[in-house]
Amino acid sequence: MANSWMMRHRPCKRNGIVNILSQDIKYLQGVGPNRALLLANELGIKTVGDLLAYYPYKYVDRSRFYQIREIDGAMPYVQLCGQIFSFDTVGEGRNKRLIGHFSDGTGSIDLVWFQGIKYVTKNYDCRKDYVVFGKPTVFNGKIQIAHPEIETLPSPSLQGGNDFSANENADEQGNNPLPIGRVRGGSVFRPSYNTSEKMKRSGLNSSAIAKLTANMFKLLKEPLAETLPPYIVQQHHLMSYDDAVRNIHYPTSPDALRHAQLRLKFEELFYVQLNILRYVKDRQLRYKGIVFNTIGEHFNGFFYNHLPFQLTEAQKRVIREIRADMKTGRQMNRLLQGDVGSGKTLVALMVALIAIDNGYQACIMAPTEILAEQHLDTLRELLGDLPVRVELLTGTVKGKKRTAVFEGLVTGDIHILVGTHAVIEDNVMFNKLGLVVIDEQHRFGVAQRAKLWMKNSVPPHVLVMTATPIPRTLAMTLYGDLDVSVIDELPPGRKPIHTVHMFDAHRQRIYQLMNRELQLGRQIYIVYPLIKETEKMDLKDLEAGFEEINKAFPNYKVGKVHGKMKPADKDAEMQRFASHETHILVSTTVIEVGVNVPNASVMIIENAERFGLSQLHQLRGRVGRGADQSYCVLVTKFEIGETTRKRIQVMVDTTDGFEIAEQDLKLRGPGDLEGTQQSGMAFDLKIANLARDGQILNIARDTAQAVITFDPEERNPQNDILWRRLRELRKSNINWGAIS
Ligand code: ADP
Ligand code: MG
């Protein structure tokens, strides 16, 4: 499919074009100081080059003509060809409007103007052929188009030589003489650009931006320089950069648009991957890894005498992968993904035992104090009488206890340190730190991870564990510097959680379920959404819910936790629930991560529509930890949108975290996914979509990897263009620089 336009190599005067691209947007025809300010503040467009990179979000096909009898008020923009038969002015004052009765022989509609009435009657004539373009709506039972765009029929010379015939009317009718509605620059597609409300109020709407991009292309007469090495362009049969940016704004054909999109998506993903993989290479060159080649008494002692159950196959596989990685002499940087309850803690412990067998210490980091304490208890219980010392370091470990921990770490008496953020503070020093495990990684950024490396002369191996399954495409981008292991199997004997969607009006049925479970001796969580822990408004729901539940269940004890409570009070309340002193726990999402109360069998989530899917999945994972049947009730109001209904349905249909994550990515887009903001490798993709462009991403990553592999010292002159571009991108994209 090497079309001629793909390979066209035109001579280019690079400097002239570069100058235009770096020119202040203010001087572009149609901009001026006021609009320049708006463009800069609202869209970050400061130069002509920025405008060039401001791609349309959709296109309106101007090659398609509709017949009036085909259209209805639900259609998007349509293009018609016909004549105005008469004008009427109706209404008075603010209601005054001009109606043009428009017909194409198959039916008639009203064209309506509220403003510019004089201009219209002066410039458009009755019984003359016009191309009319706009969004049909229904008013008083009649279809109308308000403020349509009107053009006279293009002269016959323009109609010749069009290279595609998307004119479906002509096909149907056979003899329809309708023209191809070419707009600027020979394009049949009209670009639509996103603009803000503020911009629209000042007349800078989509079509105003389109005028600016058209003016821009008038300046860009010379071809733009290629931004990828020719060998990569050829290898993947990509459109040239110059053709791609022109076609992305003003496509000359649907096919050209597809190729332009492909080229620009590839390029975008390629540079993101090149940035990541180059960083990985540098990291490997800069840091040697500790070699763990012994499996000794700690690991074996635990494995043969203390393991309370058989490892799942997935756990075994993952431990093997990690062991192999830690033997290579490279520093391990691995992401361990495993659904809630898949047994990651056990894996972490066994890996820590390998570190201890090799004479090193391990550190396990959790995002909250409650979790850190829980890990401490779990590890101590699992280890039993094995000679492994595990200690805790959190913000609440103070005074003598804290000093003792610091000492034990420096002397090496402490084998495993469990803690929160507190462990990365500068004054925490280890004797020989060999392994860092970070649980629930999405709360830790790349910078924090890197800080841990400095705790040993040779950086420790790093294992990042997450129960928020991340779709592969997202993982490759957000955590593209990590190798990935997956536990894709739950320990045997778990019953899938039964999930139902109920409306507020079903309160009595929900209470029935609750009563039944309470009578069986089970416990119940009720969770309320909290947008910002600081906002009082959100707490009102929680307080009201708490009172209501107290009234409805007078024979049971109800606890309450939220983020505004003092940590000690919060912990105490959680503890009361864990020890079954309270039966129902009303809370905000503070219980989200990792808390383990196996006797709890019901999770009720109020205003479920306000949670992200992965968050719902996390919350649901709080139940179903024992052997009994558990339930999750997702409560919403009756009136919810289509997307919301679909999202809730995903939760009802599956308990597979990966499936949920994929669906979430599809329904919401990557920008909203949890973890994207905190990851530290946040990125802002202009055109590629991680939900849809997985295939392009794979190719882009492989291509970037090949560049790194075959030109590790960056000496190949063919790649100069590529490193130069990467430097530019790193300069203009703050987050890109943040990864090294
Ligand atoms: P998560 O991956 O969510 O951190 P945990 O490590 O907390 O999961 O494990 C959940 C529960 O499953 C714990 O009670 C743990 O003891 C248990 N568990 C872990 N591995 C196995 C196994 N192979 N067989 C049976 N139970 C297991
Ligand atoms: Mg866990």
Per-residue pLDDT tens digits for 524-567? 999 988 755 555 556 678 888 899 999 999 999 999 988 788 87
Q: List the beta bridge partners of residue 462.
A: 333, 436
* Ligand 1 pocket check for 344: Cβ under 6 Å: yes
pLDDT score at 480: 82
Out of 303, 309, 340, 591, give the residue to mutate to test ligand 1, the one with the largest number of ligand atoms within 8 Å of its CB.
309
pLDDT score at 288: 85
> What does the pLDDT average to over 231-254?
95
Asked if the model's pLDDT at residue 118 lies above 90, the reply is: no
Q: How confident is the model at residue 123 (pLDDT cuts 50, 70, 90)?
A: confident
For the chain, the average pLDDT equals 84
* Ligand 1 pocket check for 315: Cβ under 6 Å: yes
Q: How confident is the model at residue 260 (pLDDT cuts 50, 70, 90)?
A: very high
With contact defined as beta carbons under 8 Å apart, do 268 and 688 qualify?
Answer: yes
**In angstroms, what is the span from residue 375 Cα to ligand 2's centroid?**
8
Asked if the model's pLDDT at residue 440 lies above 80, the reply is: no
Tokens at 6, concatenated: 């793909």
Tens digits of residue pLDDT in 391-418: 999 988 999 999 999 999 999 999 999 9
Closest by CA to 238, choosing from 218, 260, 221, 217, is: 260
Tens digits of residue pLDDT in 598-611: 899 999 999 999 88
Residues of the chain with pLDDT > 70, as a percent, come to 86
* Ligand 1 pocket check for 368: Cβ under 6 Å: no
**In angstroms, what is the span from residue 311 Cα to ligand 1's centroid?**
9
pLDDT score at 170: 33
Tens digits of residue pLDDT in 630-679: 999 999 998 888 888 999 999 999 988 888 888 888 776 654 444 444 33
Reduced to 3 states (helix: H, G, I; strand: E, B; else coil), residue 295 is coil
Residue whose CA lies nearest to ligand 1 atom number 26: 491
**In angstroms, what is the span from residue 567 Cα to ligand 2's centroid?**
20
With contact defined as beta carbons under 8 Å apart, do 228 and 267 qualify?
Answer: yes
With contact defined as beta carbons under 8 Å apart, do 294 and 357 qualify?
Answer: yes
Least confident of 95-99, 507-511, 711-715: 95-99
Reduced to 3 states (helix: H, G, I; strand: E, B; else coil), residue 423 is helix
Asked if the model's pLDDT at residue 7 lies above 50, the reply is: no
> What does the pLDDT average to over 588-596?
66
Tokens at 453, concatenated: 């490396």
Tens digits of residue pLDDT in 163-175: 232 333 333 333 3
Q: How far apart are CA 279 and CA 274, in angstroms?
A: 8
Asked if the model's pLDDT at residue 177 lies above 70, the reply is: no
Ligand nearest to the CA of 364: 2
With contact defined as beta carbons under 8 Å apart, do 338 and 465 qualify?
Answer: yes
With contact defined as beta carbons under 8 Å apart, do 708 and 700 qualify?
Answer: no
* Per-residue three-class SS string for 56-109: CCEEEECCCCCCHHHCCCCCCCEEEEEEEEEEEEECCHHHCEEEEEEECCCCEE
Q: How far apart are CA 527 and CA 682, in angstroms?
A: 29
> What does the pLDDT average to over 257-261?
94
> Which comes out higher in pLDDT, residue 571 or 345?
345
pLDDT score at 736: 62
pLDDT score at 15: 57
Asked if the model's pLDDT at residue 443 lies above 80, the reply is: no
Residue whose CA lies nearest to ligand 1 atom number 19: 343
Residues of the chain with pLDDT > 90, as a percent, come to 51
pLDDT score at 446: 63
> What does the pLDDT average to over 103-113?
93
